[in-house]
């Protein structure tokens, strides 16, 4: 298996496709796509090329981010195509979210338990791809992404957000500093369950969904997949996959006019 189910939107400016990669029978290993995890660079690039071909794109169409567990979101264009694709040193620096209005720009983010969030405004064709660990979540990277999309011309009430495969409440134990940061968000419903040891099982999916609702998004879809439970299919850091990353991908294809 290489991709989960395809997600598609029809927009006035072209069809948007999004997907989350899985572990797969790859040219190198089991499909690691991360250049920053002390893996063989050439092997990772071969894996990335396979993924790009599945989208009928070249790797040079893709844009990758440094991902620093913050809430900075950057708008990119076709001029950024290829950044981070072959060399980690050329990624979009200090960024955990990418937005574009351009066609054939493949936005890519890497994961091994953190929450992938992909966004599409079907009324404008503006798309985004965001990495939300707990730090990015409590820094409200959802609102930062929506605001950047809105500044680019999106209608926030039309934006749809998909929550991808990620570690879920069943497997994600956190301590008091994380809980205090979650509490400061002031959510209506508590997104965690306390344990007797003073720690808690946290749902980052519920947290990000609540923040998306607060931001006035049009629709929220949760893939419902726990990477830790399904570590045979997805890289999971807490399961021991320290040298593997899967990707969330989103691209708007050109609208062909005959």
Integer-rounded Cα Rg, in Å, for the chain is 17
Provide the pLDDT for residue 225: 97
Count of beta carbons in the 10 Å neighbourhood of residue 185: 15
Distance CA 209, CA 137 (A): 10
- Provide the 3-class DSSP secondary structure of residue 148: helix
Q: How many CA atoms within 13 Å lie on the side-chain side of 149?
A: 33
Provide the pLDDT for residue 186: 98
Q: Which residues contact 226 (CB under 8 A, 6 or more apart)?
A: 165, 166, 167, 168, 170, 171
Provide the pLDDT for residue 4: 64
Distance CA 209, CA 195 (A): 23
Domain ranges of the chain: 7-252
Fold of 7-252: 3.60.140
Distance CA 15, CA 51 (A): 18
DSSP state of 65: B
DSSP E strand boundaries for 57-213: 62-64, 73-75, 97-100, 106-111, 115-121, 126-132, 160-163, 173-174, 192-194, 200-202
Q: What is the pLDDT along the chain (258 residues), one digit of tens a residue?
A: 466 678 999 999 999 999 999 999 999 999 999 999 999 999 999 999 999 998 889 999 999 999 999 999 999 999 999 999 999 999 999 999 999 999 999 999 999 999 999 999 999 999 999 999 999 999 999 999 999 999 999 999 999 999 999 999 999 999 999 999 999 999 999 999 999 999 999 999 999 999 999 999 989 999 999 999 999 999 999 999 999 999 999 999 987 544
For the record, the structure tokens of 206 come out as 């519920």
Provide the pLDDT for residue 257: 47
- pTM listed for this prediction: 0.96
> Among the residues of the chain, which ranges form H helices?
41-54, 134-138, 141-151, 176-183, 204-214
Provide the pLDDT for residue 255: 72
Provide the pLDDT for residue 258: 44
């Amino acid at each position: 298996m290489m991709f989960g189910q395809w997600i598609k939107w029809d927009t006035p400016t072209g069809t948007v496709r999004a997907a989350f990669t899985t572990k797969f029978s790859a040219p190198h290993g089991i499909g690691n796509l991360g250049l920053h995890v002390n893996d063989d660079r050439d092997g990772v690039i071969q894996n990335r090329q396979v993924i790009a071909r599945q989208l009928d794109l070249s790797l040079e169409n893709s844009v990758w981010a440094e991902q620093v567990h913050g809430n900075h979101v950057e708008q990119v264009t076709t001029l950024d195509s290829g950044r981070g694709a072959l060399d980690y040193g050329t990624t979009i620096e200090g960024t955990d979210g990418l937005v574009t209005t351009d066609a054939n720009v493949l936005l890519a983010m890497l994961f091994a338990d953190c929450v992938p969030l992909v966004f599409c405004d079907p009324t404008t064709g503006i798309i985004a791809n965001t990495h939300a660990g707990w730090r990015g979540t409590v820094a409200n990277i959802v609102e930062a992404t929506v605001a950047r999309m809105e500044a680019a011309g999106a209608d926030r009430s039309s934006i749809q957000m998909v929550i991808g495969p990620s570690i879920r409440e069943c497997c994600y134990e956190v301590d008091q500093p994380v809980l205090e940061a979650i509490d400061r968000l002031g959510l209506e419903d508590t997104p965690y369950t306390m344990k007797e040891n003073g720690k808690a099982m946290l749902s980052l999916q519920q947290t990000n969904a609540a923040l998306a609702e607060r931001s006035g998004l049009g629709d929220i879809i949760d893939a419902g997949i726990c990477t830790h439970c399904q570590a045979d299919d997805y890289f999971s850091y807490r399961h021991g996959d320290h040298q593997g990353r899967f990707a969330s991908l989103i691209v708007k294809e050109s609208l062909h006019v005959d």
